[in-house]
Chains A and B, each alone.
Chain A
Amino acid sequence: MLSTDLRSQWMSKLLERFTVFVPAERENQVHWHRLEPADLGSGTDTVTPALRRIRASEPVKSFMFNPRQQVGAFPEKLKPAEPKTRVLLGVKNCDLVPLKVHDKILTDGEFNDPFYLAQRKNTILVAADCPVPEESCFCNLLGLTPFAGDDADAALSVCDGAFLLEVGERGRELIDAAPDLFRKASEGDAGVTRREEERKAAVAALNRINPTPWNPGLPAAVAAKRKDESFWQKHAEKCVECFGCLMGCPTCYCFLLYDQAREKGLDRTRVWDACYLAAYARVGGGANPRAEFVKRFANRFFCKFSDFKTDHGMFACSGCGRCFKACMGKIDIRKVLGEL
């Protein structure tokens, strides 16, 4: 437990050892911000209030599964860089759970992405509770809570003038950086009681926002709509094909490998791709199994809510609501799936 007054001291200690990213408020939005020593002396704390807000605009996957990453060179070999250990302080559960999607895809045991793994390993994930869900949030429909389970290295709650930090083995480094600032919390502490109350209230708020659970047989119900184009068409009509939903998504994992020629040889880059793009599934000869947009629109739902669940035992969605927030047509996954 750490008094919020000591926040700057703790963070400057962390900066001595790590690169630190925190959510910070800018123009009423929350964005990931690389903490600099100058931020700590400014007197304006944008971090503490942002820790209590919902997830940042940028999905946390961006830190490991980079939007652009050089993954190869030819004919020479390329090895992943080994940068300074990073701390992501304030990761919401709806960003933590999606990392399991990327772990499953990029490190399946047979073929492992060394560039993803290097960044995953050098990141200490500190979860933060989400006491005030917003209307776009629907993690409860996915069976998730607005606070982390044991997927993070440490969990932070900001209540009643105190930072409550629960650490796992690796998260201990965060306390070791400034052991004098912390004291051990106990059951009777006001902060601990307050944290439990806030967690219950957040769950209750989510249940108010999204009172009706989805069909418990959702994967089969989605799969049953594979051939029902009219169902998807009525929702796809509002899409302007901006792909904001896919670029903001913390679980979307599609990528494209492309080569850029150098004078001698080439660089190979892995970039995020979007299954809504017309050329996404097109083959060299020009044939395209999803030439019509409605097929690509439906494919996204099959991927997230049927195929991934069947193949990997989890939905490729965490209810973060970024897709809905980004959508100009206000297409709401909750509404689409609520009809099944």
Chain B
Amino acid sequence: MNNPYAAIPATILKVMDETPNIRTFVLRPEREIPFLAGQFVELTVPGFGEAPFTPSSSHFKRDTFEMTIMKVGRATGALFGLKPGDAVGVRGPFGNPYPLEKFAGKDIYIVGGGVGLAPLRALFLALTHEIDKYKHIYLRYGARTPNDIVYRHLLPEWEKLPGVDIDLSVDVSDEKWMKKVGVVTCLLEEIPCDEKKSIAVVCGPPIMMKFVNQRLLDAGFQGENIYLSMETNMSCGVGQCRHCRLGPYLTCKDGPVLTWAQIKDIENPFA
């Protein structure tokens, strides 16, 4: 019988600095992790513990995968001390993928904040891999400063993709910044798609999610079309330990992405 708590070994192939406190780790697991965009894995940093992360690379290539991670606590702190060749553990995939079948034929309006672009990148790559299936992809991304933007080297390439429209903002600009200045909602003042029919996908810090969600609702997006990545303490990953309970849901099993229609009655869901 499979042991759901057992991690399989994975080797770190490459570590890339994204920002002063965000890095992308390229991992080669001993066995392929059959993830789909939006699903997460539990990453073991040997000796320091486990934490959940969503792969940020395309699910069309799985012999290696990438995770973009911000240094915030004990496990991520230790992870930042690891180098190519070091071993970590992974188990998963867990949770539900983005329901791409429901996205077909529609405008997809993606809003990211900070390191929240990481799981959205997996979605973006899955969507653009089969771009003809979708109407148009909009990506709106905000970071604190130009130096805090992740995937800086990739964004110019993404902007060139057909059927893709990207706009960026920073809270605090520098002299070289040519795009918008302001919190990410400043990118949402004009929404170029049909709000009633379009899909919105949001991932970022809780406070950003709260305001972006409100803006999307005000603009006319339907609650069941707003997909939100919920940040709760997912420990076991398999719906048992109950740490990630959010109202009537277990984020690890029912999420990690839930729609606004699902969570609207929960008191302060972005706490």
Contacts and interface: CB of A to CB of B under 8 A. Distances in A.
A and B together in one complex:
yes
Interface of A: 71-75, 77-78, 105-106, 108, 110-114, 117, 226-227, 253-259, 261, 265-266, 268, 270, 273, 275, 280-289, 299, 303, 306-307, 310-311
Given A75-B9, A112-B4, A226-B247, 8 more contacts: A113-B240, A114-B3, A253-B240, A259-B49, A280-B233, A283-B233, A289-B271, A306-B248
B236 A266 contact: no
26 contacts: A71-B5, A71-B6, A74-B89, A78-B3, A111-B240, A112-B1, A114-B2, A226-B247, A227-B267, A255-B241, A256-B241, A257-B50, A257-B235, A259-B44, A259-B46, A261-B47, A266-B47, A270-B5, A275-B242, A284-B51, A284-B72, A284-B74, A285-B73, A287-B271, A307-B245, A311-B248
Contact of A273 (B44, B49, B243, B246): B243
A110 B239 CA distance: 10
Given A303-B242, A310-B248, A282 B233 contact: yes
B240 A106 contact: yes
A284 B240 contact: no
B268 A113 contact: no
B231 interface: yes
Interface string B224-237: 00000001110110
B232 A281 contact: yes
Contact of B232 (A77, A270, A289): A289
B24 to A, nearest CB: 17
Interface in B175-209: 206
Contacts of B246: 289
Interface string B61-97: 0000000001011111000000000010100000000
A227 B235 CA distance: 26
B118 to A, nearest CB: 14
Contact of A259 (B4, B48, B233, B268): B48
A113 B241 CA distance: 12
The 5 closest A-B CB pairs, nearest first, are A261-B47, A111-B238, A284-B73, A111-B4, A289-B271
Given A117-B1, A285-B73, A289-B268, A307 B248 contact: yes
Contacts of B241: 254-257, 273
A330 to B, nearest CB: 26
B8 to A, nearest CB: 8
Interface of B: 1-7, 9, 44, 46-51, 70, 72-76, 87, 89, 206, 231-233, 235-236, 238-248, 267-268, 271
B75 A284 contact: yes
Contacts of B51: 284
A108 B49 contact: no
A258 B46 CA distance: 11
A285 B72 contact: yes
A75 B271 contact: no
A253 B239 CA distance: 11
A255 B268 CA distance: 25
A72 B7 CA distance: 8
A281 B73 CA distance: 15
Contact of A254 (B44, B46, B243): B243
Contacts of A286: 72-73
Given A273-B243, A284-B73, A284-B76, A259 B6 contact: no
A173 B11 CA distance: 51
B48 to A, nearest CB: 7
B1 A114 contact: yes
Nearest to B4: A111
Given A257-B50, A285-B73, A108 B239 contact: yes
Given A72-B6, A74-B9, A289-B268, A280 B243 contact: yes
A287 B270 CA distance: 10
B87 A257 contact: no
A257 B236 contact: yes
A196 B87 CA distance: 64
B267 A226 contact: yes
A77 B235 contact: no
Contact of A265 (B2, B3, B46): B46
A67 B231 CA distance: 28
Nearest to A259: B49
Contact of A287 (B44, B48, B87, B206): B206
A303 B7 CA distance: 29
A159 B89 CA distance: 57
Contacts of B2: 112, 114
